[in-house]
Structure 1
Amino acid sequence: MTAGDGAGAAGVDPQELWLRPARPRRGRRPAFSREAITAAAVALADAEGLEAVTMRRVASEVGAGVMSLYSYAPDKETLVDLMVDHVSGEHPTTDPLTGDWRTDLKTIGHLQRALMLRHPWLPAALFARRTLGPNALAFLERALAALRPTRLDGTAKLEVFSLLTGFVANHVAYEVTRAAVADSPERSAAEARYLAAVAADGHHPELAAALATPPGPPRSPDAVFARLLGRLVDGLDSE
């Protein structure tokens, strides 16, 4: 990590970041903008991962001196906040809701997964995010509107959205990691034999019972996610 990539102790005032226009330092008018810097950082993270995003590397991508970037994003953590909000703008926020809060919440979960699969660095960035930008707030507003038919109070609605987002982020992180690990049929067969041997040793009766259930036909990643999302949302109590 290069100098300036770490966070300051207090971070950036959210009002300064989101409610006031970016103002570069005095001097010659720059040939780039906060939007260009953020877009370059997103493209870099999409191609090489979040670890590749440093102030120095992003400055190189936009053809700027690294010190000039600090007028727009004083540290990497602020830049990540900008990146998260930038891609959050890809979420649709004007499509009509159905009025069935479980259906609408599942739709939101699918939208989140699609966004995170397009930007595999996003789950890790969400966990490190310090503040919500306007695009993220617009999507949160939509989620809260979807939960309007429930009897949940405001705190509970926020908790449900946090629970949903955490589930999707963890699931996508698992999907991306598993996709990067090329399991051969031989490896999968070896793992199955190992678990069968463990289940048969008499010390793991619950595992043995679980493995005794026929697994059924293989399911696509989309189908697996839909099933797990359904279990999460359908199990929520609106009272």
Structure 2
Amino acid sequence: MNRPDGPGGAGVDPAELWLGHDRPRRGRKPAFSREAITAAAVELADAEGIDAVTMRRVAAKVGAGVMSLYSYAPDKETLLELMVDHVSGELPADGPPTGDWRADLAALAGLQRSLMLRHPWLPSALSSRRTPGPRALAFVERALAALRPTGLDGGARLEVFAQVTAFVAGHVAFEVTQSTAARPPARAAAEARYLAAVAADGRHPELAEALAAPVRPLTAEATFARFLNRLIDGLGTG
């Protein structure tokens, strides 16, 4: 697959990737489909993380020779593009807007969060710039329609959706990290004692006020909703 940046350059040619046919560029009749190879890569990433996805591991999973895979995905970067769009197909592209753009945007962000929690490697994959494939574009179309009542032009609506997507990816990455690095109770208690002592020293009045505030629900869902609503409220229509 040709690279628009020339030999050794970064980036996948999106027209060649997404508008081409699902067939190898050369050789005999294909024994596998691009979809099957992508699905195998996704299964591997779901089970072991994105670093486990190598052309050799994917080839072994589908029972193919490594060289045969290069007809479908010449490198891991291209494979990641395929993987991101593959799982984007789990996002429902239908569902007419309700007219309440804030509620609609929150619902779409919730769908994205659920998708990323099912595929914890996805936030990392999205950290590099990627051109949306056909499945991802269907969800983008839905989001832009939901944002039409804001009165923003198309470019601004696209920016809003990109901003919310970036928030969701960052938040899910934090959630996943926290879930795999839970603090022992003794450590949490020690941190609480330390902060209480600092708050009582008279030199940190803002922190003291913050720690004295009513405790908010700390479930993952409640925390995500609070942060998301603050972001959406700050978007406005300007």
Structure 1 unaligned spans of 5+: 1-6
Q: Which runs of 4+ in 1 moved over 6 A?
A: none
TM-score of the aligned structures, taking structure 1 as reference length: 0.92
Q: CA deviation at 1:18?
A: 0.1
1:185-234 deviation digits (Å, cap 9, x = unpaired)? 21111111111222233332221221121324x43211111121111112
In the alignment, is the contact (CA less than 8 A) between 2:39 and 2:86 conserved in 1?
yes
Query: For residues 93 and 26 of structure 1, what CA distance do their matches in structure 2 show?
Result: 34
Identical-pair percentage: 72
What corresponds to 2:198 in structure 1? 198
Amino acid at match of 1:224: T
Structure 2 unaligned spans of 5+: 1-6
Structure 2 residue 218 is the aligned partner of structure 1 residue 219: yes
In the alignment, is the contact (CA less than 8 A) between 1:93 and 1:138 conserved in 2?
yes
CA RMSD of aligned residues (A): 1.6
In the alignment, is the contact (CA less than 8 A) between 1:81 and 1:129 conserved in 2?
no
Q: The residue matched to 1:137 in structure 2 has which SS?
A: helix
In the alignment, is the contact (CA less than 8 A) between 2:26 and 2:71 conserved in 1?
no
1:83-137 deviation digits (Å, cap 9, x = unpaired)? 0000000011112221111111001010000000000000011112431100111
Query: For residues 25 and 150 of structure 2, what CA distance do their matches in structure 1 show?
Result: 48
- Larger relative contact order (CA 8 Å, sep ≥ 6): 1
Query: For residues 11 and 234 of structure 1, what CA distance do their matches in structure 2 show?
Result: 35
In the alignment, is the contact (CA less than 8 A) between 2:23 and 2:33 conserved in 1?
no
In the alignment, is the contact (CA less than 8 A) between 2:106 and 2:229 conserved in 1?
yes
What corresponds to 1:66 in structure 2? 66
In the alignment, is the contact (CA less than 8 A) between 1:80 and 1:129 conserved in 2?
no
What corresponds to 1:89 in structure 2? 89
Amino acid at match of 2:219: S
Query: For residues 129 and 10 of structure 2, what CA distance do their matches in structure 1 show?
Result: 14
What corresponds to 1:230 in structure 2? 229
Query: For residues 17 and 173 of structure 2, what CA distance do their matches in structure 1 show?
Result: 28
| Worse-superposed segment, 149-158 or 7-16 | 7-16
| Worse-superposed segment, 111-120 or 185-194 | 185-194
Q: CA deviation at 1:27?
A: 2.8
In the alignment, is the contact (CA less than 8 A) between 2:38 and 2:82 conserved in 1?
yes
| Worse-superposed segment, 183-192 or 23-32 | 23-32
Q: For 1:143-154, what aligned pairs fall within 5 Å after superposition?
A: 143-154=143-154
Q: The residue matched to 2:150 in structure 1 has which SS?
A: coil
What corresponds to 1:33 in structure 2? 33
Q: For 1:107-126, what aligned pairs fall within 5 Å after superposition?
A: 107-126=107-126
Q: The residue matched to 1:225 in structure 2 has which SS?
A: helix
